[in-house]
Amino acid sequence: MVRDNNIATTMGGLTAANAPAPVAAGPAKPGASPAKGAAAVKESVADLDKWTHTTKKSLTIDMVNMTNQPIDVNVKSTFLAKDETGKHEVMPEKTVENKVTLAPGKPAEFTTDEVDFTHTSMHRAPAPKSSGAISKNPKPVPMEPASGHAYFGYKVEVFQGNDLIGSAVSDNH
């Protein structure tokens, strides 16, 4: 049995909370509020990163040795990703191998290393700052294409020597 673990999912690399402080371009205007400048920087950083998503995945694998002897197995766990660009093909993102000794008649459970998946959704680029005049027919802002790899599923194969003795795939594979 294989369980798919969501370790963490984040949006963007920077958030408004960890954005760098704004740098003053010169002497402050009398009566100007420094809080407005800081809020504008935090807002623009949030806009830039809100389309990028990072997901960390691991697999928890349960196995049982039904023989009377201990056996050494090699478990190959392949994490699959969907390419967010081009043809949206499903491809191997990373294969993690674990060597496990299974005691006779006893269940064994282990969790693979984490694998990161980062992708950016298709989105519109930020609108250019206007010069103050409101246009009746503004030019459309171009679309930014999607990029990166999104998590799609897994394939797990269990080998004893060169012999495949067990396998599992995710439902969507």
123-141 per-position pLDDT tens digit: 666 666 666 666 677 777 7
Distance CA 89, CA 47 (A): 28
Give the residue among 103, 95, 105, 104 at the shortest CA–CA distance from 75. 95
The 3-state DSSP class for residue 48 equals helix
Could you tell me the pTM of the whole model?
0.64
Q: Which pLDDT belongs to residue 96?
A: 95
Give the residue among 84, 80, 82 at the shortest CA–CA distance from 94. 80
Contact indicator for 90, 151 with CB cutoff of 8 Å: no
Secondary structure (DSSP) of 109-142: EEEPPPEEEEEE--EEPPPPPP-SPPPSSPPPPP
Distance CA 78, CA 29 (A): 58
Distance CA 38, CA 91 (A): 42
Segment 57-113, tens digit of pLDDT: 999 999 999 999 999 999 999 999 888 777 778 889 899 999 999 999 889 999 999
